[in-house]
Structure formats: C-alpha cells, structure tokens
Amino acid sequence: MYYKIENDIMQETNGENWGKKPDRIAVFTSGEWEQAVQIRASYLLEQNRDNIRFCKLESYADFLFGTLHIPRKRGQENNIGFAFYILENKLIFIDDTDAVKKNIEKIMSGKLRKGYTVERFLYDFLVSLIEEDILYLDQIEKDITKMEELILAGEVEDFNYQMLGLKKEISRLYRYYSQLTDLGESLFDNEMDFFGKDDIATFRIFADRVARLQGETQVLREYAMQVQEVYQSEIGIRQNDVMKVLTMVTIIFLPLTLIVGWYGMNFTHMPELSWTYGYPMVIILSFAIVVGSLWVFKKKM
C-alpha cells in the first residue's frame, strides 16, 4: 500500500513512480517485502524480523533501519512489532499486524499542518503510538490506589499476585519508553542528514514527551513499592496483634498453671488437701487471678 503527500494532503496512491517522487510512504507485509526489488534491505529485515523485541534505530550508508516493539496493554492479546526504513524523503513500513495502517488512517482523517512532509508524518506517527498512554498510566495509578485502600480496609486478596502483575506491566512500559527516548534522540541527531533542520526539532519534542512518560512510570514504580511496604506493615501489625493476644492468654494462665502444679504434688502433709473448703477456695482464687489480670491489661492498654 502506497501513500503520497502533496499540497498538505496525504492520500493513498497506486505506487507508480514511487521511488522518483518525494514525500512517499509505503506499507508492506513481510511476505510482500520479501518479493520487493530492494534485495539488500530485504536481507536486513530477514535478519531482524524475528528479533523485534525492542525499539531501535540503526544507521547504514544510505538509509536508516528501525524496529518498534509496543508492549501489549489490557484488552490486547499480543505485543505489536514492526520494522521501518527511512530514506531521503521516503518511509517504508513492514508490518503484519495492521497497526501501521490504522495509525496512518487516523493521521489522514485529521487536519495536516501547513508544509506537511514525510518528516512531519513520521513525527505524527510516533506521537500516535503514545498519545493515549498518559490515560493508561492514570488507570494503573488508580488500580494501585484501590489496592492501597483495600489493604487499609483489610479486604485485599491475592495481593502479591496482583502487585506482581502491575509491577511487571510498569517495568515493560518503562523499558519501552526508555527505548523510544533513545530512538527519538537518534532521529534528532540526524546523523544521515535525511531530515531538514526545521523538522528535526519535532523529534526532540517527541523524545521529551516520551521522557515525561518514562518519568511517570518511574513514579508508578515507586508508588507500587510504597504500597507493598504498606502491605508488609499491615501484616506486621496483624501479627503483633495476634502475639499480643497470645501473650495475654499466657500471662493469665501462667499463675493458674502454677496453682495446678503446686497442688498437684500430693504431699502427705499438705493441710489444704484435708480442708473442707480447699477446692472452692482454689476456684475463687483462680477466678480472682483471671479477673485481676484482665483489669490490669485493660488499665495498661
């Protein structure tokens, strides 16, 4: 599928004279690209297609080669990965997921700025990958806040499992934004002089936006760690409460155990053994010890 940018309008074209005219964009599937005439670039893709696990940009003699790996979000089954080539005034995507086509259609449906070029399109395309991410990060923050509230209410279940999932998700996003930042800075450096001086500033803006998202994910990582510490503190408090109850029970029954042991010796000349009121007095004494201990505990607490 081919697109052209002319007179600040982007539209689909048949691809005739694609290589001879500026500001052209092409989207291929991997199968279509293997049949393309650019043998050298096809070989590069073959070496990297199965290893699209991160975002990167590599410089070659007369083109730039890059890959984008977008981690899956909630509601998505798989990660999104595709490759792209940047030539002078041209951009080629190799994508089997239809993600590139959807983003291009989204850009085409909007109003293009004056003096639109393939460089401006590349900026808009990269921004379209992250424009809703701040809302997604906000949803993750709300999930962490909800878990914190449930912890304080003592209603949380499977906390470690849920928190582990959130921390993994945040970690994936943090690495993704870190790689996107490096990619944006590489585009800004304009090592191959493919971009005009007026256009490369947009790539700095993109890198700054991604860096801010990376900072937000770092804040979420720290927040998740704080909530985990709150959970551990709550566990410690509950354990202390249990130990307090066990200590109180032990202190109360320790004197009673002493009495039982004392009068269980059955020595011959123990006067209490033959005393008529010995048994009731032991009961009264034990009851008084229990009541007295409870009163002391209540007064001290």
- Which tens digit of pLDDT belongs to each residue from 200-211? 788 888 889 999
Q: What per-residue confidence (pLDDT) applies to 39?
A: 46
Q: Which of 35-39, 79-83, 224-228 has the lowest mean pLDDT?
A: 35-39
- Band of pLDDT at residue 38, cut at 50, 70 and 90: low
Contacts 24+ apart (CB under 8 A), 191-200: 191/59, 192/59, 192/62, 192/63, 192/64, 194/64, 194/86, 194/87, 194/88, 194/89, 195/119, 196/117, 196/119, 199/117, 199/119, 199/120, 199/123, 200/119
Q: What per-residue confidence (pLDDT) applies to 213?
A: 92
Q: What per-residue confidence (pLDDT) applies to 281?
A: 82
Contact 199, 117 (CB under 8 A): yes
pLDDT score of 2 more than 70:
yes
- Output 37 or 4, whichever has higher pLDDT: 4
Contact 170, 217 (CB under 8 A): yes
* pLDDT averaged over every residue in the chain: 81
Helix (H) or strand (E) holding 168: helix 159-189
**Number of C-beta neighbours around residue 289 at 10 A:** 17
90-94 vs 24-28, strand pairing mode: parallel
Q: What per-residue confidence (pLDDT) applies to 83?
A: 86
Q: What per-residue confidence (pLDDT) applies to 212?
A: 93
Mean pLDDT of 212-236: 88
Cβ neighbours of residue 123 under 8 Å, at least 6 residues apart?
199, 202, 203, 205, 206
- Band of pLDDT at residue 36, cut at 50, 70 and 90: low
Q: What per-residue confidence (pLDDT) applies to 33?
A: 73
The 10s digit of each residue's pLDDT in 89-107 is: 888 888 888 888 888 888 8
User: DSSP labels for 207-263?
Assistant: HHHHHHHHHHHHHHHHHHHHHHHHHHHHHHHHHHHHHHHHHHHHHHHHHHHHHHHHH
Instruction: State whether the Cα torsion 5-7-9-11 is positive or negative.
Output: negative
The 10s digit of each residue's pLDDT in 250-287 is: 888 888 888 888 777 777 777 777 777 777 888 888 88
pLDDT score of 219 more than 90:
yes
**CA pair distance 209, 269, nearest whole angstrom:** 92
pLDDT score of 48 more than 70:
no
Distance of CA 191 to the CA centre of its chain: 33
Q: What per-residue confidence (pLDDT) applies to 218?
A: 92
Contact 63, 85 (CB under 8 A): yes
Q: What per-residue confidence (pLDDT) applies to 192?
A: 64
pLDDT score of 41 more than 60:
no
| Dihedral over alpha carbons 43, 44, 49, 52 (to 10 degrees) | 170
- Output 197 or 63, whichever has higher pLDDT: 63
